[in-house]
Structure 1
Amino acid sequence: MSGNEVSPEFARATTDAQWVEINGNHLAVEVLGPEGAPVIITHHGAPGLGSRAEPRASFGRLADEYRVVVFDARGSGQSEGNGTFSHEQWAADIDALREWIGAETIAIAGGSYGGFMAMEYALRYPQRVAAVVLRDTSPDNENADAARKNALATDRVVIDMEKFDRIDYGRVRDDEDLKDCWREILPLYDFVYDPEAVERKVEATPYRYQAHNYAFSVNMPAYDIKPQLPSLAAPMLITVGRTDWITPVSCSETIAELVPNSELVVFERSGHSPQIEEADAWTRTVREFLHRVYPSAAR
């Protein structure tokens, strides 16, 4: 499968996208919510594994009063994968989407690797950012050491560390290998381990190994935005699950310490996905934050 192809199963399952040409790639984009409402652009996590499905489910809850833009980043989901998968390029794609939707300023949101991109965008295009919403993310690559220790220490499953290394270092061989490695680490993500739910996630994931490998072999070794974070002026909400194994609470605490106008909320009965595991509380927290710093017309 080439960098531009997606699985037929995923293509059949996601038919609501419009195809928007952004910086030489057709991206799968969905726009939710009323015209004229303040715009939220959300970036999914896990390049080559993630898609717009997760932010559509979580931030789509805010589409009663906000204009929510969800999309598959270049190289992920249904979108084309031409060119580079650098943070600079992904941030430029976000800004081109902002121009396409016609918003002078936006709230930028993202979880996990999408949180990396939300912060990268806010740093590269500060004049365009009215608010930032983060979930379970990190300001540098130090989370990788913590994740490895947590994987080795877990009593939930026995992790094949050869597969762990391939996915962690961006060395997977093809889409099937990425799927196999993803299945290996998925049991670590949730607050409550459900093997059947893990297998459903494995089968529902769109696999694009080129973007994943680039992100983790090229982008991540040099990723450290801590020195720039104190310059952020936009209000920021940082959310994280208490038992997150891959971007632990300490990572979010570091962001909160560095960003002047930030607030941190820890969800006590969540792993890496409080937007799912404590959906009502998480949604209420995000909505109340946005009402204060980025109010909708309904307010």
Structure 2
Amino acid sequence: MERTGICHSDGFDLSYRIEGEGAPILVIGSAVYYPRLFSEHIKQKYQWIFVDHRGFAKPKRELRAEDLSLDAVLADIERMRTSLQLEDVVILGHSGHAFMALEYARTYPEHVRKVALFNTAPDNSEERQRKSETFFMETASLERKKRFEKDIANLPRDIEIDPERRFV
């Protein structure tokens, strides 16, 4: 059974998508992108709740500086959890969303059964970022490096053409 909807949070319409049956796993990030990553087989064992955070939602009002804070994102996740009437969840974050999931678990431990962090670095420090860049430059194929350079060069233009997808 699949269910979709919108949770209104502080001027943002946050989408959600629920698939599967079983213990709830709250996946932070995108209700459009993340459902594609998990097999139908595993969706039979757990209830997957894919939720947008405000980086994936168009605001219904002017943006304020505090709208981009981690505290605002955590409040959105909590509002989503309560509006979906979830008592406790496994919270899952992938890549940068892992930091959001981990901080949510630290802030609301009474509502988190377990934390799952996928494909993320241990921190997001400048030193770790430099090491990642060095690793890429030393190990990526020439073709991959050229593709990256092209994508980065086109990024400002792509954001200008479609600013709603700037986070993606």
Shorter-chain TM-score bucket reads 0.7 to 0.9
Distance 2:87 2:79 in 1: 12
1:70 maps to 50
- How many angstroms does 1:20 deviate by? 2.1
SS of residue paired to 2:78? helix
Q: Select the residue among 142, 145, 148 that pairs with 2:130.
A: 145
TM-score, normalised to structure 2, is 0.74
Q: Answer yes or no: is the 8 Å Cα contact 1:17–1:28 preserved in 2.
A: yes
SS of residue paired to 1:21? strand
- How many angstroms does 1:115 deviate by? 0.9
Whether 1:86 aligns to 2:69 is yes
SS of residue paired to 1:99? helix
2:27 maps to 42
SS of residue paired to 2:50? strand
Q: Select the residue among 204, 208, 211 that pairs with 2:165.
A: 208
SS of residue paired to 2:14? strand
1:132 maps to 115
SS of residue paired to 1:20? strand
Q: In 2 relative to 1, CA 161–57 (structure 1 residues): closer, same or farther, beyond 3 Å?
A: closer
- How many angstroms does 1:42 deviate by? 0.2
Q: For 1:55, give the aligned amino acid.
A: Y
Q: Answer yes or no: is the 8 Å Cα contact 1:74–1:80 preserved in 2.
A: yes
The alignment yields a C-alpha RMSD, in angstroms, of 3.1
Q: Answer yes or no: is the 8 Å Cα contact 1:32–1:60 preserved in 2.
A: no
Per-residue CA distance 1:20-53 (angstroms, 9 max, x = gap): 212321112111124xx42211013xxxxxx334
Q: In 2 relative to 1, CA 112–178 (structure 1 residues): closer, same or farther, beyond 3 Å?
A: farther
Whether 1:58 aligns to 2:43 is no
- How many angstroms does 1:137 deviate by? 0.8
1:24 maps to 11
- How many angstroms does 1:207 deviate by? 5.7
Distance 1:100 1:21 in 2: 9
User: Which residues of 2 match residues 2-13 of structure 1 at below 5 A?
Assistant: none
Distance 2:100 2:161 in 1: 22
- How many angstroms does 1:155 deviate by? 4.4
Q: In 2 relative to 1, CA 88–138 (structure 1 residues): closer, same or farther, beyond 3 Å?
A: farther
Q: Answer yes or no: is the 8 Å Cα contact 2:58–2:164 preserved in 1.
A: no
SS of residue paired to 1:75? helix
Q: For 2:109, give the aligned amino acid.
A: P
Distance 1:178 1:126 in 2: 41
Q: For 1:152, give the aligned amino acid.
A: M
Distance 1:52 1:111 in 2: 13
Q: In 2 relative to 1, CA 101–144 (structure 1 residues): closer, same or farther, beyond 3 Å?
A: same
- How many angstroms does 1:122 deviate by? 0.9
Q: Select the residue among 90, 104, 107 that pairs with 2:87.
A: 104
Identity of matched residues, %: 25
94-103 or 51-60, which moves further after superposition?
51-60
Per-residue CA distance 1:208-256 (angstroms, 9 max, x = gap): 22x47xxxxxxxxxxxxxxxxxxxxxxxxxxxxxxxxxxxxxxxxxxxx
Q: In 2 relative to 1, CA 18–162 (structure 1 residues): closer, same or farther, beyond 3 Å?
A: same
Gaps (5+ residues) in structure 1?
1-15, 45-50, 180-205, 213-299
- Structure with greater strand percent: 2
Distance 1:178 1:111 in 2: 27
Q: In 2 relative to 1, CA 65–208 (structure 1 residues): closer, same or farther, beyond 3 Å?
A: same
Per-residue CA distance 1:142-167 (angstroms, 9 max, x = gap): 33112210232244133576975x89
TM-score, normalised to structure 1, is 0.45
Q: In the comparison of the two structures, how many residue pairs are matched? A: 155
Distance 1:86 1:139 in 2: 20
